[in-house]
Structure 1
Amino acid sequence: MNLPQIARNTVAAAAFAIAGITGFANAQILDTPATHAVIMDHETGAILFAKAGEEPMVPASMTKMMTAYTVFEMVRRGELSMSDKFTVSENAWRKGGFPSGTSTMGLAPGDTPTVEELLHGVIIMSGNDACIALAENISGSEEAFARRMTNLAHELGLNSANFLNATGLEAVGHVISAEDLAKLAKLTIDNYPEYYSWYSLPSYTWRDFTQANRNPLLEISGADGVKTGHLEVSGYGLTGSAVRDGIRRTIVINGLPSMAARAAEGERLMRIAFNSFDLKTLTPDSVDLPDVPVWLGETQKVPVKLSSDLQIAGYKASMEKAKAEIVLPGPIEAPVSKGDELGKLIITIAGQKPMEAPILADADVAKLGFFGRAIEGLSHMLGGSESQS
């Protein structure tokens, strides 16, 4: 018996237009001088724009976002308290204090700051000494703490991460992607809002040493984090996040030639993130999907609908050319019950990963009786009905 084409295909796809996605024009194609860049919609987690976004890169002091997140997790689990006092070693002082010539909290050997004070030193002052003090007191060595950071990152789905220290100072193989840094920012904001607010503090003082927050975006309306980074090998980088009119967007940039270039490009990409991207919600009631063919059913097609709301975020110029497809895992054979998951709706927007949501049968389709199946089979053997794909 010859099956119709829909039944012979392992995947059946039908392209069609969805009203409400299109209608934007006159926007330029986005580019950036940064070697790595990402724009992420916070609510959906959708990557709106990426340039080498999945490529592991040297994060420099943006590493400290993971250092802090690891400590936040330990506090939540009861392994640490914010009031615990840690002793600063000579190693932490030499490698991350004033003698190191790197960004520092200004700690001295024998100091006993609290975990909370050290976190302020990490987040606001970008203190390498604060990072090393936390790492040594928690795990015995910075290397052991870095392994803990990497393991936690992988548990969180940040699979590009490989941390060799807690500071972000240069080490061959110490990397994470821009996309994973954006995801880490989202995790911090969603899971630890009470600590995320520290990222927006303008400065912090340890004893008589005050360091201003280096994040240039904090002067922009709605910006509230997160972290800068710089090494000669990485260039100047920034992970930044802001909220406007209830919408949050996060950017990551790296590989810029100067602090001024970082500030200018950070501000430009954040402005573009809000002005040149759009977010739409498709609901089951608002989307009219084409019927899906059914094999050996009392009716040849079944109506389908989205299983739930689907949020679509994208660059306005690209959304105008969005493509929607219904993708089935194989032939749909009767009987079909209303509510059965039959396949997926996939929305493809240029420059982004496809977005998808399950589609459900919106009606019952009973199976043909014996004579009906025989007639259906004979019809296809004789080429009496059209194949569908």
Structure 2
Amino acid sequence: MNCFKKVSLWITVLFLFVSASFSIVPNTANAAENDPLGLKAEAAILIDAETGAILYEKNADVVLGVASMSKMMTEYLVLEAIKEGTISWDQEVTISEYIHKLSSPNMGLSNIGLTQGEKYTIEELYQAMAVYSANAATSALAEVVGGTEKNFVKLMNKKAEELNLGEFKFVNASGLNNKDLLGNHPTGEPNEENVMSAKATARLAFHLLKDFPEVLETAKIPKLKFKDGREYPNFNWMLPGLSYEYPGVDGLKTGSTDFAGYGFTATAKKGDNRFISVVMKSSTREERFTETRKLLEYAFNNHSKVEIVAKGAEVEGHKSLPVTKGKEDSVKIETADAIEMVVKNGEQEKYETVLTLDKKKLNEDGELTAPIKKGDKIGSLTVKPKEGDSIEFLTENGTKSVTVDVVASEDVEKANWFVLSMRAIGGFFGDIWGSVSSTVKGWF
């Protein structure tokens, strides 16, 4: 090979290396930009538990296996049935042959052994499900609430629609793969599993905490002492006293199958702040907890609840509004309540307020008409970012948390007929004088 060919070859190799380098760097930068926490989990989301405001998300709309995190829906329906009185905590359930076989500990599934023909209370089965993720106990509860697990799955999907979860499909009550249900899978294909997106999972957790906050009384139990005399540890290893303990964690549900990988829906509270996080398809059971720790650290260390708008505050740029037919020609307005929201530290100034007036209370000239009573609603004030899109919430009701009524802060009585007449006459002659003045000016 002559010298010229050697140089050409090296130039070609160098060009390919530089080209490859430039093609890699932007992708890495984009990945870091899209996922500032660098999570290994396939999907994740972090929300404020009070308002449902989304603080972080990664592939949150991708539909993945949810495994035993779907038991949160079973918990919801059981707690709803308790509230409605259709079942009670002390109600006894006789274990069938199928439930007994499903609970057999040699199947390699998460279970507490349930003896055929023996009676267990709803509370005992619920605790077994919520703490130790017992699958047979979950199926037993499904049969009690729904009559059959097949019918219960219909209730699960119906409730998911009512809660507007988004992307989901439930095929059984426990979150197992249908193949593990001893040929008795209630719905779906023989190898099918429950699926949800991280955002849908977070919505389920959000509604569960909002509608049934008592769910945490069981979810926070580190170890369950069952009636068989044995002690069963909670699979949520971030609870106090367990191996991945994190301050403030008191729920909510783990899940894992070969299809779903390892997932965890967590909630933690410190002071006035509570957050909910979801990680899906982590590669190991330990990783789901280290990933969750990153999310919670990010939440508590970088976000604070602040008062954006005070109660009784004047609306910037709109201290008063024009009024017609009143003793006064304007009325002062103020906020009826305060607006608090969780924001990233140091970014409070990045938000502004937008006033929206009730058009039904305005005339064609944009004026209010007297009489006006103190406290009458005039419109609403909403917080939004100064730049970019509006704040994203899990639910449609989320925007209500950053919107407050604007009311009149004083009375404006209607002027009597004489005053209104004089104003009309004054206005009439004022118009004439204005017309005459314009005409005279035109002469010169």
Shift in alpha-carbon separation, 1:287–1:107, aligned structure 2, 3 A: farther
Residue of structure 2 equivalent to 1:91: 98
State the shift of 1:296 in Å: 5.9
Residue of structure 2 equivalent to 1:203: 223
Matched, 1:347 2:383: yes
Shift in alpha-carbon separation, 1:327–1:36, aligned structure 2, 3 A: farther
Q: Distance in 2 between matches of 1:116 and 1:372?
A: 79
State the shift of 1:358 in Å: 2.3
2:302 to 255, 271, 276: 276
CA offsets per residue over residues 330-371 of structure 1, 9 Å max, x none?
464331524333332221246634532222233456698656
State the shift of 1:322 in Å: 1.7
TM-score, normalised relative to structure 2? 0.67
Residue of structure 1 equivalent to 2:256: 230
1:298-309 residue pairs with structure 2 within 5 A?
302-309=331-338
Q: Distance in 2 between matches of 1:180 and 1:373?
A: 61
Greater Rg by CA: 2
Shift in alpha-carbon separation, 1:127–1:293, aligned structure 2, 3 A: same
Q: Distance in 1 between matches of 2:62 and 2:275?
A: 21
CA offsets per residue over residues 197-244 of structure 1, 9 Å max, x none?
111112235426543211132111221111111233333221111222
1:56-71 residue pairs with structure 2 within 5 A?
57-71=64-78
**8 Å CA contact 1:96, 1:129 repeated in 2:** yes
Unaligned runs of 5+ in 1: 1-27, 379-389
State the shift of 1:103 in Å: 1.8
**8 Å CA contact 1:87, 1:133 repeated in 2:** no
1:1-389 residue pairs with structure 2 within 5 A?
30-33=36-39, 34-53=41-60, 57-95=64-102, 97-98=104-105, 100-156=107-163, 158=165, 162-170=169-177, 174-189=194-209, 191-206=211-226, 207=228, 210-218=231-239, 219-281=245-307, 282-286=309-313, 288-291=315-318, 294=322, 302-316=331-345, 318-328=347-357, 330=359, 332-335=366-369, 337=372, 338-349=374-385, 352-353=392-393, 355-363=402-410, 370=424
Q: Distance in 1 between matches of 2:339 and 2:71?
A: 34
Q: Distance in 1 between matches of 2:306 and 2:219?
A: 30
Letter in 1 for 2:176: L
CA offsets per residue over residues 19-75 of structure 1, 9 Å max, x none?
xxxxxxxxx984452343332333444333344546665422111122122112222
CA offsets per residue over residues 362-385 of structure 1, 9 Å max, x none?
34566986568879999xxxxxxx
SS at match of 2:170: coil
Identical counterparts, % of pairs: 29
User: For this pair of structures, how many residues does the alignment match?
Assistant: 354
Shift in alpha-carbon separation, 1:77–1:373, aligned structure 2, 3 A: farther
Letter in 2 for 1:324: T
Shift in alpha-carbon separation, 1:324–1:29, aligned structure 2, 3 A: farther
Letter in 1 for 2:235: R
**8 Å CA contact 1:70, 1:149 repeated in 2:** yes
Q: Distance in 1 between matches of 2:353 and 2:56?
A: 19
- The higher-RCO structure (CA 8 Å, 6+ apart) is 1
**8 Å CA contact 1:38, 1:49 repeated in 2:** yes
- After TM superposition, the structure 1 stretch with the greater mean CA deviation from structure 2, 225-234 or 322-331, is 322-331
State the shift of 1:135 in Å: 1.2
Q: Distance in 2 between matches of 1:372 and 1:53?
A: 65
**8 Å CA contact 2:313, 2:334 repeated in 1:** no
Q: Distance in 1 between matches of 2:334 and 2:144?
A: 55
Q: Distance in 1 between matches of 2:428 and 2:301?
A: 59
- After TM superposition, the structure 1 stretch with the greater mean CA deviation from structure 2, 212-221 or 295-304, is 295-304
TM-score, normalised relative to structure 1? 0.76
Larger helix proportion, structure 1 or 2? 2
- After TM superposition, the structure 1 stretch with the greater mean CA deviation from structure 2, 218-227 or 38-47, is 38-47
Shift in alpha-carbon separation, 1:98–1:106, aligned structure 2, 3 A: same
**8 Å CA contact 1:347, 1:356 repeated in 2:** yes
State the shift of 1:182 in Å: 3.8
- After TM superposition, the structure 1 stretch with the greater mean CA deviation from structure 2, 164-173 or 262-271, is 164-173
Shift in alpha-carbon separation, 1:137–1:312, aligned structure 2, 3 A: closer
RMSD of aligned C-alpha atoms?
3.7
Q: Distance in 2 between matches of 1:375 and 1:196?
A: 73
- After TM superposition, the structure 1 stretch with the greater mean CA deviation from structure 2, 280-289 or 109-118, is 280-289
Unaligned runs of 5+ in 2: 1-33, 178-187, 240-244, 394-398, 433-444
Q: Distance in 1 between matches of 2:316 and 2:160?
A: 39
SS at match of 1:79: coil
SS at match of 1:275: helix
**8 Å CA contact 1:154, 1:161 repeated in 2:** no
Q: Distance in 2 between matches of 1:295 and 1:283?
A: 25
